[in-house]
């Protein structure tokens, strides 16, 4: 049986019954003191309004749409999410700036260390892919990454004699690039072997879910 439009839920009916009983009690308590009774009615209405506001506020928090007074707290509690969001927003709006920043920072370091520098066009393809590709797996740990979350790393570190060429570049998550430092590829792979295995399973489930989602929607069209 469907609820009648505009009808009250069972919880609301129960609350109204409790409030009605409370008003009856207050009527017995205050007698014919209409002013005191009016104050009590106003107090109950204020409590109901406060309760509804608290529920709406919690719902907004859970849906990532916090009330103005909660916005700073929400952003602080979800710092990683906000950082990723703003990085992605910036790079989507300023793709050319992002590409230039990534390329120029690595090239400057390669020049400083006296490393071999390869052809610009091939190198540029790697950086463009890192900035624009919707979904990629981190080269090292196989984490699923999205636009705005990636770094470009040298497989063989420049400090160890690696060259700044397209074949020595790989697209990684920020965590791997920052934690690898100047370790050789074999040493770093051993250090993250467990993480790589876990992320491989997560990536497999992610792409499998994407495949079945596309399949289901293709069948419905």
Q: Is the pLDDT of residue 143 over 90?
A: yes
The reply to whether 11 falls in a domain is no
The reply to whether 116 falls in a domain is yes
The residues, any chain, with a CB within 8 Å of residue 102's CB and separated by 6 or more, are 127, 130, 131, 151, 152
Tell me the C-alpha distance between 73 and 94, whole Å: 28
Do 94 and 87 touch, CB atoms closer than 8 A? no
Tell me the C-alpha distance between 197 and 205, whole Å: 13
Of 13-17, 111-115, 206-210, 211-215, the range with the highest mean pLDDT is: 111-115
The reply to whether 63 falls in a domain is no
Q: State residue 140's pLDDT score.
A: 96
Q: State residue 21's pLDDT score.
A: 62
Q: State residue 161's pLDDT score.
A: 92
Do 195 and 175 touch, CB atoms closer than 8 A? no
Question: 91-122: b or e for each residue (b if 16 or more CB lie within 10 Å)?
Answer: beeeeeebbeebbeebeeebeeeebeebeeee
The reply to whether 191 falls in a domain is yes
CATH number, domain containing residue 201:
3.30.40
pTM to 2 decimal places: 0.54
The reply to whether 2 falls in a domain is no
Residue 171, φ and ψ in degrees, nearest 5 = -100, 125
The reply to whether 148 falls in a domain is yes
What is the token pair recorded at 209?
Answer: 């879910």
Q: Residue range 168-196: average pLDDT?
A: 93
Task: Considering only residues 83 and 154, tell me which one the structure prediction assigns the higher pLDDT.
Answer: 154
Q: Is the pLDDT of residue 54 over 50?
A: yes
Question: What's the domain count of the chain?
Answer: 1
The reply to whether 21 falls in a domain is no
Q: What is the mean pLDDT of the chain?
A: 80
Q: Is the pLDDT of residue 22 over 80?
A: no
- Report pLDDT digits (tens) over 4-13: 444 445 555 4
The reply to whether 129 falls in a domain is yes
Q: State residue 6's pLDDT score.
A: 44
- Report pLDDT digits (tens) over 65-96: 888 888 888 878 777 777 767 766 665 665 55
Q: State residue 2's pLDDT score.
A: 45
Domain of residue 125, residue span = 79-220
Identify which of 123, 104, 127, 107 has the alpha carbon closest to the alpha carbon of residue 115: 107
């Amino acid at each position: 049986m469907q609820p009648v439009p505009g009808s009250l839920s069972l919880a609301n009916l129960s609350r109204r019954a409790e409030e009605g009983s409370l008003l009856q009690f207050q009527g017995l308590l205050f007698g014919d003191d209409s002013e005191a009774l009016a104050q009590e009615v106003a107090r109950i209405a204020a409590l109901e309004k406060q309760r509804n506001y608290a529920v709406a506020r919690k719902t907004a928090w859970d849906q990532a749409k916090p009330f103005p007074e909660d916005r700073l707290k929400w952003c602080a509690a979800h710092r990683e999410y906000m950082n990723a969001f703003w990085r992605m927003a910036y790079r989507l709006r300023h793709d050319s700036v992002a590409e230039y920043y990534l390329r120029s920072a690595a090239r400057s370091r390669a020049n400083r260390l006296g490393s071999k520098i390869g052809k610009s066009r091939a190198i540029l393809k790697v950086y463009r892919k890192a900035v624009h590709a919707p979904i990629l797996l981190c080269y090292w740990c196989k984490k699923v990454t999205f636009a705005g979350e990636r770094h470009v790393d040298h497989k063989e570190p420049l400090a160890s004699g690696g060259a700044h060429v397209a074949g020595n570049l790989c697209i990684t998550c920020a965590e791997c690039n920052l934690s690898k430092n100047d370790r050789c590829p074999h040493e770093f792979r051993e250090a993250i072997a467990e993480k790589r295995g876990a992320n491989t399973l997560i990536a497999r489930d992610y792409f499998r879910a994407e495949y079945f989602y596309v399949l289901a929607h293709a069948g419905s069209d």
